Chain A
């Protein structure tokens, strides 16, 4: 259970952790917290990726991305990319407050910082804002020539240096002039494979609270893996979490810690800062693999034994 900074609102955390057989193929995921200028969704999303060896590949994301809050963009890839660049549209407003179709891009953080508040055509020499919008809409609509412009020209030409390390940090920016509107929501070698926000009246909501349903795959290492959630207003919310243990090893403990920031910027929550779990709630792991839960204000430690031959386990906090 988490408390808001005001100490008035309480947040219920419910975790469901699941262990299952490893999935096949390469799933590439981008988790972001963002807030577009008018809160409108990001549409016409084009994902450009390269492994540094083969040509740049494009993937047209089939859904809109919510304009506010935590979003997870996931797709299957034929290779493991090392560099990514995402570009989409939103009906927003420019720096002068005028309604305008805006470009939204996921960028390398240093690149974004170096070009903050600079107009699109200067950030990407040789590309113009309005023309890029036209090209993007055509590419997403199936125009192969325009799609090729993004993969063969834009990525390595005007946008050289803008791509970010796949799996690493990124900034979400909105143009006409570069305005940072978001950033990566996760840090670590695990992968978020699904994210959904359930209203409190949904039958699957935990304890009748707004519930974030998150699925993850734990791979490569044991963590830490950070996920930053955008929480609207005050009140209680829950998390229903599933984790696929793809580490190849059984686990004896699973720890949740609260804080702010991700990765190297993670700042642990401290007692009395208004953010914490609620030990009075039914924080639990549901499959029995981790029967013991030690709940403190800013951490919950589950202990037990999860063996690979018993792949499923679930916690509710």
Chain B
């Protein structure tokens, strides 16, 4: 552009920034999932032992009655 002596060209640059929306925290973290799985495993094991104990006691009782 041919500017007149009193003319200035001024540039305004504009830049927007997208808002970063934080993702919601997961209900269970990985470590808590592992702990939950271990706890369930222990409970299952104990339940199994209790069931097997009761079965053996019933067998002993039947044997003792003969």
Contacts and interface: CB of A to CB of B under 8 A. Distances in A.
Interface of A: 2, 4-5, 11, 13, 33-35, 68, 172, 180-183, 190, 216, 218, 222-234, 239, 243, 245, 247, 249-262, 266, 268, 275, 305-307
Interface string B19-51: 111000000000000000000000000000000
Contacts of B6: 232-234
Given A180-B2, A182-B1, A230 B14 contact: no
B12 A252 contact: no
A181 B13 contact: no
Contacts of B21: 250
Contacts of A2: 10
A5 B17 CA distance: 30
Interface residues of B, number: 20
A257 B1 contact: no
A229 B12 contact: yes
A218 B15 CA distance: 10
B17 A254 contact: yes
Nearest to A257: B13
> Interface on chain B toward A: helix, strand, loop, or mixed SS?
strand
Nearest to A260: B11
Contacts of B3: 35, 230
A86 B56 CA distance: 99
Contacts of A229: 9-12
Nearest to B4: A35
Given A222-B16, A229-B9, A255-B16, 13 more contacts: A13-B12, A35-B3, A172-B1, A190-B14, A216-B14, A228-B10, A231-B10, A251-B18, A254-B14, A255-B14, A258-B10, A259-B13, A261-B11
B8 interface: yes
A68 B3 CA distance: 9
Interface of B: 1-4, 6-21
State the 3 A-B residue pairs at the shortest beta-carbon distance, nearest first. A252-B19, A253-B17, A250-B19
A258 B17 contact: no
Contacts of B15: 222-225, 254-255, 257
A51 B47 CA distance: 75
A306 B19 CA distance: 8
B40 to A, nearest CB: 42
A224 B13 CA distance: 6
27 contacts: A68-B4, A181-B2, A218-B16, A226-B12, A226-B14, A228-B10, A229-B10, A230-B1, A230-B8, A231-B9, A234-B6, A245-B16, A249-B19, A250-B19, A253-B16, A254-B14, A254-B15, A255-B17, A256-B13, A256-B14, A258-B10, A258-B11, A258-B13, A260-B9, A260-B11, A275-B10, A307-B19
